[in-house]
């Protein structure tokens, strides 16, 4: 490890960073040294740093490198500068990470200018559509046209559905909320993976539902554990995120899906299939919507394969009556899907642009996974086009501790604790690869993380 060493004497020029050896940019090594020194107490709030020109001379680097390092350190709230007095260490923690590997969003699609497409799409929609329709309330399951478009999007998972079984919502979380409110009661238990989508954890807490973890093996949930957990907790609902699972990035194989579908039928369980990622795979396994349509509520959002800008998602219900119950729950919570965004989403779906954007996101996700493989080399779980990867850790150091170290170094990651149902869960963290603005910034973040893992006792990688 490295830091800043204070040498005896009164002159501020005695402050000198000792830089890490490695391929990372020198300016980031200077920032990391400063962050480490402040975190450990070797630098105190109010300490004055050497002038940039003197620090450049001491380190044997050009002035531009030090200037860039100080600029980045100021952005992270590590230092502050006062005209005529110098540069001082600040008392607070960094205001934001220099690089975000925690927000799981799609990267900008390769070969497309998404902001320009959004601008032209909204302008065109406003010209072609009735202003009254776009500015009015649309409570309920969506217009007939929107629901019909939804059947086409959902048809990727199987046969095209009747329109009266499809519901349009303002994002996956709104539709998951409607399913839980319409299918469960306060105090009911929902079965889920020991590491599961944080939005489900928050939703269960907000609606006073309980979550119970189901045991997994290399292929996903174990059917015998589902049976045991369902009987133990008197559970009637099973939550699944079987394709590029969040956070583990695993893809449940078709054979296991069929086993779970049979077990759900035996136990009369309702299946909630959360499916934000399957369109990132060229040939995903069959969805539970096609394997057990009579008991599956299938939720498919556009936010993860196109952009969070489109807060539009579609739900397939087992029958028209169930869809109407979902619609009533939407009216009591989120009221409706935003007409402007839903209108744009439907135009993109009808015209094929949604598929083109998804293809661009897939290509960029693949490129970013290749970068991760080249830097982290081994020990993590991912698929070629996944937006995230799962990095297991050995038990000596919990992932929350690694996340704290990373944050002090200006890097945000998602520890296992954020996804945990109960106390018995795998140690590791999720890395989201889409939030960084470009591949070079992603490389910087992953190189910084690799440095942390290689230099932190107990953070050695675990084979999977």
Residue 214, both tokens: 């189901």
- Which of the 8 DSSP states describes residue 12? G
DSSP per position, 309-373: T---EEEE-SSHHHHHHHHHHHHHTT-S--HHHHHHHHHHHHHTHHHHHHHHHHHHHHHHHHHHH
pLDDT for 14: 62
Radius of gyration of the chain (CA): 25
Residue 236, both tokens: 């009637």
DSSP per position, 395-460: TTS-HHHHHHHHHHTTEE-EEGGGGBSSS----EEEEE-SSSSSHHHHHHHHHHHHHHHHHSTT--
- What kind of architecture, by CATH, is found in domain 100-107+356-455? Alpha-Beta Complex (3.90)
| Low-confidence residues of the chain: pLDDT under 50 | 1-13, 458, 460-464
What CATH number is given for 4-96 in this structure?
Answer: 1.10.10.10
- Which of the 8 DSSP states describes residue 77? T
Domain ranges of the chain: 4-96, 100-107+356-455, 115-353
Among 404, 391, 371, smallest CA distance to 431 is for 391
Among 100, 154, 32, 38, smallest CA distance to 452 is for 32
Angle, CA of 113, 114 and 115, to the nearest 5°: 95
- Dihedral sign (CA 17, 23, 28, 34): negative
pTM of the model: 0.80
Euclidean distance between CA atoms 118 and 232, whole angstroms = 49
- Cα–Cα distance list, 117 to 172, 204, 244, 343, 424 (Å): 23, 37, 27, 14, 45
Euclidean distance between CA atoms 171 and 185, whole angstroms = 22
- Cα–Cα distance list, 274 to 16, 277, 278, 366 (Å): 52, 9, 10, 22
Among 78, 8, 9, 27, smallest CA distance to 17 is for 27
Per-residue pLDDT tens digits for 201-259? 999 999 999 999 999 999 999 999 999 999 999 999 999 999 999 999 999 999 999 99
CB atoms < 10 A from the CB of 199, how many? 15
CB-based contact 27:454 (threshold 8 Å) = no
What CATH class does 115-353 carry? alpha beta
pLDDT for 107: 96
SS3 190: strand
Among 376, 364, 362, 363, smallest CA distance to 445 is for 376
Angle, CA of 136, 142 and 145, to the nearest 5°: 100
Residue 262, both tokens: 């049979």
SS3 391: strand
SS3 211: strand
pLDDT for 44: 86
pLDDT for 85: 78
How many CA atoms within 13 Å lie on the side-chain side of 400?
5
pLDDT for 15: 66
Q: Where are the alpha helices (DSSP H) in 41-184?
A: 52-59, 63-75, 114-128, 131-134, 144-154, 172-183
DSSP per position, 154-169: HGGGSSPPPGGGEEEE
CB atoms < 10 A from the CB of 40, how many? 12
CB-based contact 304:277 (threshold 8 Å) = yes
Per-residue pLDDT tens digits for 150-209? 998 998 766 789 999 999 999 999 999 999 999 999 999 999 999 999 999 999 999 999
């Amino acid at each position: 490890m490295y830091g800043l060493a204070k040498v005896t004497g009164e002159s501020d020029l005695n402050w000198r960073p000792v830089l890490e050896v490695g391929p990372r940019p020198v300016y980031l090594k200077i920032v990391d040294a400063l962050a480490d020194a402040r975190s450990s107490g070797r630098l105190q709030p109010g300490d004055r740093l050497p002038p940039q020109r003197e620090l450049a001379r001491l380190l044997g680097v050009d002035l531009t490198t030090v200037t860039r390092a100080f600029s980045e350190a100021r952005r992270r709230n590590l230092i502050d500068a006062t005209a005529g007095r110098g540069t001082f260490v600040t008392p607070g923690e960094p205001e934001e990470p220099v690089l975000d590997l925690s927000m799981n969003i799609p990267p900008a699609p390769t070969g497309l200018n998404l902001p320009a497409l959004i601008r032209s799409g909204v302008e065109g929609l406003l010209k072609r559509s009735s202003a009254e329709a776009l500015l009015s309330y649309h409570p309920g399951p969506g217009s007939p046209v929107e629901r019909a478009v939804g059947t086409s999007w959902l048809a990727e998972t199987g046969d095209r559905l009747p329109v009266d079984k499809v519901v349009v919502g303002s994002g996956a979380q709104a539709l998951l909320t409607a399913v839980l409110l319409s299918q469960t009661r306060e105090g009911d238990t929902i079965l889920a993976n020991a590491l599961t989508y944080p939005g489900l954890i928050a939703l269960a807490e907000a609606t006073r539902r309980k979550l119970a973890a189901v045991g997994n093996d290399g292929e996903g949930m174990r059917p015998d554990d589902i049976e045991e957990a369902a009987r133990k907790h008197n559970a009637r609902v099973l939550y699944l995120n079987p394709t590029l699972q969040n956070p583990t990035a695993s893809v449940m194989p078709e054979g296991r899906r069929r086993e779970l579908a049979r077990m759900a039928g035996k136990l009369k369980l309702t299946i909630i299939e959360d499916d934000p990622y399957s369109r990132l795979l060229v040939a995903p396994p069959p969805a539970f919507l096609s394997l057990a349509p009579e008991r599956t509520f299938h939720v498919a959002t556009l936010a993860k394969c196109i952009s969070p800008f489109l807060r539009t998602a579609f739900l397939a219900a087992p029958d028209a009556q169930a869809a109407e119950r979902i619609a009533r729950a939407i009216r009591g919570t989120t009221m409706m899907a935003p007409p402007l965004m839903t209108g744009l989403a439907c135009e993109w779906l009808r015209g094929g642009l949604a598929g083109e954007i998804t293809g661009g996101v897939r290509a960029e996700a693949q490129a970013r996974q290749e970068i991760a493989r080249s830097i982290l080399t081994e020990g993590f779980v991912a698929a070629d086009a996944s937006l995230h990867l799962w990095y297991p850790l050995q038990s000596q150091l919990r992932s929350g501790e690694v996340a704290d170290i990373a944050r002090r170094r200006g890097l945000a990651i998602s520890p296992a604790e954020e996804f945990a149902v109960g106390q018995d869960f795998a140690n590791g963290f999720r890395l989201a690869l889409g939030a960084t603005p470009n591949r070079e910034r992603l490389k910087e973040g992953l190189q910084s993380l690799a440095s942390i893992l290689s230099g932190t006792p107990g953070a050695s990688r675990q084979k999977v």
